[in-house]
Structure 1
Amino acid sequence: MKFSEVLFSEVKEIWDGYLEHPFVKGIGEGTLDKGKFKNYLIQDYLYLKDYAKVFAMGLVKAETMKEMKFYHESIKGVLDDETAVHVNYLKDFGLSTEEVEAYKSELTTESYTNYMLGIALKGDSKDIAMTIMPCTWSYYYIGKHLYETYKENLKDNFYAPWIEGYASNEFRECAQEWIDYIDDICKDISEVKKEKLKDIFIKSSLYEMEFWNMANK
């Protein structure tokens, strides 16, 4: 069994919980309160700023030029591609990125990013990959589910660009590249290291759930 398959089996119950979360279902149904979505976008934008820094630490701690290039491209993807959907929605809400950056991170946002940054500072490139991966992979898991479930009713859904962005082939390829990367770097690790990496992956997945809980308040 590939290590990515082991990781997925560890968190499937948690991730399936995302799919049933009222906030996520509200996006799919198009019924989510726009004020909640606005607050979510603000916090997620602030999250992505620190998320990109974790990738940057991955680049610093990468062991090969191939890994360095991989992290470099991923940083660009976060800063350019993933924030693009956020920026467009924020414009709809009358907010510039400069205004968003003046907001304070909520406790859950700060706790999650501090956890990832702590892993990035103390750990190696494998540890960093584990704390990064649940966000990227689970957002595709969610986006794909929402698109397949609600694709016949997206025409008038305010959240269609969000769903389509995370369900897109481009995002799927991004997630798959990370899955392949994990399987490559973790193929010969010890059982002790496997347990450590699984723990990081699970904790980041739990933080993702807390982020959805925060967004729904």
Structure 2
Amino acid sequence: MSYFEQLKQSCAEDWQAYTQHEFVRQLGAGTLPAESFRHYLKQDYLFLIQFTRAWGLAVYKSDNFADMRYGQAGINALLDLEIGLHIDYCKEWGISELQLLEEKESSACVAYTRFVLDRGLSGGLAELHAALAPCMMGYAEIGTWLMQQPFTKLEGNPYRKWIEMYAGQEFQDAIEVEKELLERLCADLTEVGMNRVKQTFGTATRMEVAFWEMGLWRLM
């Protein structure tokens, strides 16, 4: 069993609650209210800003050139491509860049991102990547899972682009690289170290659930 599968099994209920959340299901069915999705998009922009800072810590925590270059590639991808694409996607949903800049972080966003940064500061590189993994690998799993569900509707679904992006081969291939790194980092851990990584992964997964809940809160 891969280390990634061990991490998922260590928090199996929370992992399922995250990857098969009602927010995700409504995305697949195309029934999620636009207001909830717009709120999620604005908070996700703020999340990406903090996520980039965490990748900066990945460079700092690396003890060899290859891992430093990998961390740098993560920073470059976020700053030079992903955040810009996210801003453009938000514009398609009627959200201006000024609105993104003026958006206040929700409690869920603050809790999640500062937890990731704390793990990066206080733990080793394996813990940092374990904190990053639920977001990266979870979205890949969500995209694939949605494509397999009978309730998922693509034709006429306003969220089709979102689903296809995370189910797409380019994103899936990028996640495989991250999985390979996580496997290598976990292989060098003691039992105590692996338990810390599992705890970090589990907490980050629960934070992802809270992030979806934040989006559904807009329905209330």
Check whether TM > 0.5: yes
1:55 and 1:71 in contact (8 A); partners too: yes
Return the alpha-carbon distance in structure 2 between the equivalents of residues 123 and 129 of structure 1. Answer: 10
Identical-pair percentage: 29
- Residue 26 of structure 1: how far off its partner (Å): 0.9
Task: Give the structure 1 partner of residue 119 of structure 2.
Answer: 119
Alignment of 1:8-157 (within 5 A): 8-83=8-83, 86-149=86-149, 153-157=153-157
The Cα of 1:122 is off from its aligned counterpart by 1.6
Letter of the 1:42 partner, please give it: K
Equivalent-residue separation in structure 2 for 1:137 and 1:198 (angstroms): 15
What is the CA RMSD across the aligned residues, in angstroms?
Answer: 1.8
Number of equivalent positions: 217
Distance between the aligned counterparts of 2:86 and 2:48, measured in 1?
10
Distance 1:12 1:79 in 2: 33
Which residue identity lines up with residue 115 of structure 2 in the other structure?
A: Y
- Any unmatched runs of 5+ in structure 1? none
* More off after superposition, 102-111 vs 80-89: 80-89
Q: Structure 1 counterpart of 2:189, which letter?
A: I
Please state how far the C-alpha of 1:121 moved relative to its aligned partner: 1.6
C-alpha distance after superposition, 1:112-162 (max 9, x if no partner): 111111112222211111111110000111111112226973121110010
Distance in 2 (CA, whole Å) between partners of 1:80 and 1:155 is 31
Q: Which consecutive aligned stretches of 4+ in structure 1 deviate over 6 angstroms post-superposition?
A: none
Q: How far apart are residue 81 of structure 1 and its match? A: 4.4
Partner Cα separation in structure 2 for residue 99 and residue 152 of structure 1: 31
Distance 2:76 2:114 in 1: 21
User: Could you say if the C-alpha distance between residues 184 and 89 of structure 1 is closer, same or farther in structure 2, counting changes exceeding 3 Å?
Assistant: same
Displacement, 1:188? 2.6
Flag the 1:102–1:147 CA change in 2: closer, same or farther, 3 A: same
8 Å Cα contact 1:19/1:25 also seen in 2: no
Scaled by the length of structure 2, the TM-score of the pair is 0.92
CA contact (8 A) 1:29 1:150 kept: no
Alpha-carbon distance between aligned partners in 2 of 1:56 and 1:41, rounded to the nearest angstrom: 23
CA distance in 2, matches of 1:187, 1:20: 29
- 8 Å Cα contact 1:38/1:93 also seen in 2: yes
